[in-house]
Amino acid sequence: MDRPAGCTCRDISHLTDGIRAFKARHYGASPGLMRSLVEEGQAPATLMISCSDSRVDPALLSGADPGELFTVRNVANLVPPYQPGPSLHGTGAAIEYAVRDLMVDHIVVMGHAHCGGIKALIGSAEGKRMARDFINDWVELALDACRIHVGHADGADSRRPVSLELLKDNPFLVERAAIAGSIGNLLTYPWLKERVDAGTLQLHGWWFDLDTGDLWQTRPGETRLFPVL
């Protein structure tokens, strides 16, 4: 790949090599899947709402094929509450298309360990907002969820008192609480809740442990996360 003189940016030509390899496999050796996805359109069973973090690509982690996951990624895998209006609702638009048009059967909110967005949220809770234009207000979406869910975010039955020290020492509790908050906010979308109530749509929380590769999941109808055995 040609680079302008003096450019210090890292080379990414291996990524275009990767697309060539994808083409050789999915358009050359085994073209059936991509051909049917083009001719018949997409019909994914799952909307995946995951973090933008480069280490937790849901398709790579789950081994999903093209056409399996309709994905929206944002900082800290957050779902804003239902607030229609003239603002630019990127996450809401993706949720609406998946639920009302693609008619997905599942929505998975997938968070992860060592989440930078959640670290920023804990900083905000401490009154240490980052000198950034957008990040603070975005991650503070999860502040209420943190207050509500953090006490039992590790699967314990009893709630514990929530202190800033607890949050700073156990960011994974906040990461899991934010997942519970996003699931709660999904249910504020009326056409989504209708489908959940009708039994045609299931909501799931997943938390990926970046240290061990383990997955934690919610049980049906719950927002608490438990390790998958």
Show which residues are catalytic: 51, 53, 55, 112, 115
Q: Which stretch binds Zn ion (CB under 5 A): 10-18, 52-60, 151-159, 203-211?
A: 52-60
Cβ(65)–Cβ(26) below 8 Å: no
**Which residues contact residue 4 at a Cβ distance below 8 angstroms, ignoring those fewer than 6 apart?**
none
Segment contacting Zn ion (CB under 5 A): 49-57, 63-71, 97-105, 153-161? 49-57
Is there binding between residue 186 and Zn ion (CB under 5 A)? no
Query: Which residues neighbour 51 within 8 Å (Cβ) at sequence distance 6 or greater?
Result: 73, 74, 75, 76, 77, 110, 111, 112, 115, 117
Q: Does 51 bind Zn ion (CB under 5 A)?
A: yes
| Residue 115 binds Zn ion, judged by CB under 5 A | yes
Stretch that binds Zn ion, among 37-45, 90-98, 107-115, 189-197 (CB under 5 A): 107-115
With 0-12 / 13-18 / 19 or more C-beta atoms within 10 angstroms meaning exposed / middle / buried, residue 228 is exposed
- Rounded to whole angstroms, the Cα distance separating 20 from 149 reads 45
Closest contact distance (angstroms) between CB of 65 and Zn ion is 24
User: 139 or 201, CB closer to Zn ion?
Assistant: 139
Sole binder of Zn ion in the list 49, 53, 58, 146 (CB under 5 A): 53
Q: Taking CB under 5 A as the rule, does residue 120 contact Zn ion?
A: no
| Contact criterion met (CB below 8 Å) for 118 and 51 | no
Positions touching Zn ion (CB under 5 A) are 51, 53, 115, 117
